[in-house]
Amino acid sequence: MTNLPDTCDVLIVGGGPAGLAAAARLAEAGLDVHLVEREPVAGGIPRHCGHSPYGWREFRRVMGGQAYAKRLIARAKACGAQLHTGVTVTDLGRRGQVTVSSDSGLQSVQARAVLLATGARETPRAPRFIGGTKPGGVMNTGALQSLVYLNRERPFRRPVVLGSELVSVSAALTCRHAGAQPLAMIEANDRPTTWRAATWLPRVLGTPLLLSTQIEAIHGRSWVEGVTLVNGQRRWDMDCDGVVVTGAFRPENALLRASAIDVDPRTRGPVVDQYGRCSDPAYFAAGNLLRPVETAPWCWNEGRMVAGAIITALAGGLPDPDLSEPVSAGHSGISWHLPQRISPNFSSPALENVQIGLARPMTGTVRYGQASGNLRSRPARRILLPLPDGGVDLQFEETP
């Protein structure tokens, strides 16, 4: 049996940095907090990330992902939050009525507030419409890292890495950690998605970055034997025994889309106001479910901030959600923005900025309400704008 009660103050869905940070703060405030994590161990993505520098913002010391995850778990528990692992939420009902599945079957929990912190995952091979066969040895960074750091496996020796985001560099380093030599990093655009400097590391380790290049087809029947690459008119085959399909993160929104909660087709996460509050006001959201995709410390802080809003909400202190006004962004260069709504007459927002993501490199002036400012940035960069005090339309004037 699970030890989940039938009712509680706050139910948190997802035990990554956002969910664990929120659990600690909510429990510290004396609330009855239960966090459900579908994996056997909480910790989220950092749990299977052996190498990156984690923890400076949260604990003022640098540590690996697994140690960082353990610290987050210990902190939430020490504050009095109840963690339930191996418990999967299967339905988000109206007004905080949640159904879970576990070894003991189905159970229903009525929470006064529910925090959704289900995080993000990479886009797998299939929706990218990569051609060829479907052999083994094609996987996301997430699967690779769980095999390498949790199971101590080496799934391949000479893979290629698709993508040039920060996570793609992480994938290349994970390959190295497992004793595999990535043959190339492959990027469809004419420059890397992450900071150019970050791609220096794989290159000095002997992994070239192939720009303006795509994987047209994957070959092999039971296991990967090679790929066909295309660069403009040039097409060539490269032998390899694995393909790591990295990045293009998308919120893990399956539960959300099956519920009555409003989903923003642009972020693919829930529509929220500046408190992280969803269209059903019993639900809040924080972390990478909100947008693709931010760092662990960012999500940790977002979890803490939205937890603060939940504490206020349960004390009846948040503005009426029915009065909230939309934030819109009609410009084709802005691919998503957050929050999507503003509840007026507020103090202490949980989301302290408007976050936007660009569809392409843009230079120009952003204007909305009384605010304006210059912007020169690219996709996959963090862009923060001051929070308006009501509904606005984000205008953008491009400098030619």
Partner 1 sequence: MPESGQPTSFDVTVIGAGVVGCAIARKYTLLGARVLLLEKAADALDGASKANSAILHTGFDAPVGSIELACIQEGYRQYEEIHAKMNLPLDRCGAMVLAWTPEQEARLPDLMAQARTNGVDDVASLTREQILAREPNLSQAVRAGFVVPREALIDPWSAPHGYLTQALINGATFRRNTEVLSGVFDGQGWVLDTSTGPVQTTRVINAAGLYGDIVDQRLIGRADFDIRPRKGQFVVFDKTAARLARHILLPVPTATTKGIVVCRTIWGNLLVGPTAEEQQDRVNADLVPETLEMLRDKAAEILPALADEEVTTTYAGLRPACGDKEYQIRRHPENMITVGAIRSTGLSAALGIAEYIARMDETPWTPIPEPEWPAMPMLAEDQTRDWQTAGNGGILCHCERVTRREVAAAMSGPNAAKSLAGLKRRTRVTMGRCQGFYCSGALQEMTATCLKPEDAE
- Smallest distance, partner 1 to C-beta of residue 378, A: 25
CA-wise closest residue to 236 among 250, 223, 221, 219: 219
Residues 304-363 that bind partner 1 (CB under 8 A): none
Should residue 80 be labelled a site residue for partner 1 when binding is judged by CB under 8 A?
Answer: no
Candidate residues 53, 131, 369, 373; the one interacting with partner 1 per rule CB under 8 A: 131
Could you please report the per-residue DSSP string of 88-131?
EEEEE-GGGEEEEEETTEEEEEEEEEEEE---EE---SGGGT-E
Exactly one of 61, 134, 154, 381 binds partner 1 (CB under 8 A); that residue is 134
Amino acid at position 10, single letter: V
Provide, rounded to whole angstroms, the least separation between the CB of residue 322 and partner 1. Answer: 27
Among 79, 80, 102, 391, binds partner 1 (CB under 8 A): 102
364 alpha carbon, distance to own chain's centre: 28
Q: Which is nearer to partner 1, 88 or 212 (CB)?
A: 88
Measured from the CB atom, the residue of 14 and 388 that comes closer to partner 1 is: 14
Instruction: Report 155-194 residues binding partner 1 (CB under 8 A).
Output: none
The CB-of-83 to partner 1 minimum distance in angstroms stands at 15
Q: How far are the Cα atoms of 24, 100, 237 from residue 106, in angstroms, in the given order?
A: 27, 6, 50
The size of the interface with partner 1 (CB under 8 A), counted in residues, is 49
How far apart are alpha carbons 352 and 332 in whole angstroms? 24
Of positions 3, 222, 347, 374, contacts partner 1 by CB under 8 A: 222
Q: CB-side exposure of 56: number of CA atoms within 13 Å?
A: 4
Q: Which is nearer to partner 1, 196 or 257 (CB)?
A: 257
Rounded distance between C-alpha atoms, residue 309 and residue 323, angstroms:
17
Instruction: Map tokens 């039938």 to a residue.
Output: 6
Per CB under 8 A, does 221 bind partner 1? yes
* Contact between residue 235 and residue 216 where contact means Cβ atoms under 8 Å apart: yes
What is the spatial distance between Cα 307 and Cα 25, in angstroms, rounded to a whole number? 6
C-beta closer to partner 1: residue 125 or 331: 125
Asked if 93 touches partner 1 (CB under 8 A), the answer is: no
Residue 41, classified by CB atoms within 10 Å of its CB into exposed (0-12), middle (13-18) or buried (19+), is: middle
Specify the stretch interacting with partner 1 by CB under 8 A; choose among 96-104, 186-194, 198-206, 358-366: 96-104
| Residues within the interface to partner 1 (CB under 8 A) | 38-40, 48, 86-88, 90, 101-106, 121-122, 124-127, 129-140, 142-143, 146-147, 150-151, 153, 216-217, 221-223, 252, 254, 257-258, 265
